[in-house]
Amino acid sequence: MTELLLVITITILAVLSPGADFALVTRNSLLLSRRHGVFTALGIGLGVMVHIGYSLLGVGVLLQQSLLWFTGLKIAGALYLIYLGIKLLRSPEQRPGEEPAEGARMSTWGALRSGFLTNALNPKTMIFVLSLFMQVIQPGTALPVQIGYGAIIVLAHVLWFVLVALFFSAPAIAGRLLAYKRRIDQLFGAVLVGFGLLLSVLSVRP
């Protein structure tokens, strides 16, 4: 019971802490649609499943023991966040009533993919899941129980980010902010670049 409470508490704190996932879901919900925001949230859930999967298979232990691979993956993830942020910073100006430029359009599957890649390559989530499975969950915990913990972690992420998508796509909120699309893109682009740079620095620190 203590182990379960620790998993739930740490997961809730990690999910609620602001990060690249929150920035992406908020941006897609505000500027695209509720459906895009929800699909982004589902993509994030799939990304979390990747981290849970290699942790359950024991690959996480190997990653932590191989400093070169572990650091390389963290840097690659940080660079992806920087790339995503730069794309938002360079997004073209869109006038009210004007159709979005071809490069600015995104399908719902594109939103799912962006959510998945942002989380699957996010060093913050990688370290969180690995730490949880290495430090909190005991080695003797039965595999079905570990899978149950993993399901709780995935469900917590999906539920929270779906709620975020529903909130920021509400007409009363999105309608007021759509006129500031360019500034919102710049804001969240800067946030993603900032997260990427910070994680890059932390990844190479001894």
d(C-alpha 53, C-alpha 131), whole Å: 14
> Is the pTM for the entire model greater than 0.85?
no
pLDDT by residue for the chain (206 residues), tens only, comes to: 688 888 888 888 888 887 889 989 999 998 888 999 999 999 999 999 999 998 888 765 666 666 676 777 778 778 888 888 888 788 765 544 444 444 456 788 999 999 999 999 888 888 888 888 777 777 678 888 888 999 999 999 999 999 999 998 988 877 777 667 777 778 878 888 887 788 777 666 65
Q: To which residue do tokens 């900032």 refer?
A: 194
pLDDT digits (tens, 9 = 90+) for 125-174: 888 888 887 777 776 788 888 889 999 999 999 999 999 999 989 888 77
CA distance 164 to 187: 17
